[in-house]
Amino acid sequence: MVSPSAARSAASPASTTNHRSPFALRYKKQPHYAGFPLKTSVRYGTIATAFGATAGIFAVFFFGEVPRVRKDILMNIPVIGGYWERSIPPEDNVS
């Protein structure tokens, strides 16, 4: 009786490999994330980032006039916090 591994090695000799013609198409596996190709993901990610940044800037200026938001959030931003500082000039002070 012949062992299965010996029969298998006799059926497919080591010299037999898949032949690839130099004229055949060259297929490469395309990188993907959740089924979306990398190129599509980058395109949609760029569009989503642009819309998100636009919505964020709109929200900052829209809610910038609400005193609670201005005082608690916007004035605490390190570089541009002084933009939202609203002080009444002394000549307009009614006392």
Query: Is the pTM for the entire model greater than 0.85?
Result: no
Which of 53, 48, 77, 74 shows the shortest CA–CA distance to 63?
74
Q: Are 69 and 75 in contact (CB under 8 A)?
A: no
Q: What pLDDT shows up at residue 4? A: 59
Cα distance from N-terminal residue to C-terminal residue, the chain: 112
7 or 62: which leads in pLDDT: 62
Question: Where in the chain are the domains?
Answer: 55-86
Listed in order, strand segments (DSSP E) in the chain are: 32-33, 36-37
Q: pLDDT tens digit string along 23-67?
A: 888 888 888 878 889 889 899 999 999 999 999 999 988 988 888
